[in-house]
A = this chain, B = another copy of it.
């Protein structure tokens, strides 16, 4: 078969484009979700960002670059997204190249998307072991696709 799998007429690939786009929209939302608490708590990463400090005042002795736990929590959730979602994107593309059953494939993409969406929510509100479970579901979907890809070669 020399016809490309990578056209939106292929149902599996269209599902990947849809859920993958929503997933990465969620991932890039982590950036403003880091910037806003930086401003609210006046916790900047670099000294030139002090122009955004709203808590800076003659009476306020804080340095404006002290780390804040709310900011650090979003950054950890964002890093976890990078560790998991970027690997997923490649693994899904590799899996699609093996011409998988569209229903099984889209199920993987759907499960991964909802697991990661929920992972961010429970990370930000600080729930365990819910966060561990969400992470494992996403990891399970990734490993399942990796296994199917390697088996199909």
Contacts and interface: CB of A to CB of B under 8 A. Distances in A.
Interface of A: 1-9, 13-14, 17-18, 20-22, 24-25, 27-28, 30-31, 45-49, 51-52, 73, 76, 78, 82-84, 86-87, 89-91, 94, 97-98, 126-129, 131, 135, 139, 142-143, 146, 149-150, 152-153
The A contact surface, by secondary structure, is helix
Contact of A150 (B4, B21, B135, B153): B21
In the complex this chain forms, how many copies of it are found? 3
B7 A97 contact: yes
Contact of A4 (B4, B25, B98, B129): B4
Given A2-B7, A24-B146, A89-B90, 6 more contacts: A18-B150, A18-B153, A28-B139, A48-B128, A51-B129, A82-B86
A13 B152 CA distance: 13
Contacts of A83: 28, 30-31, 78, 82
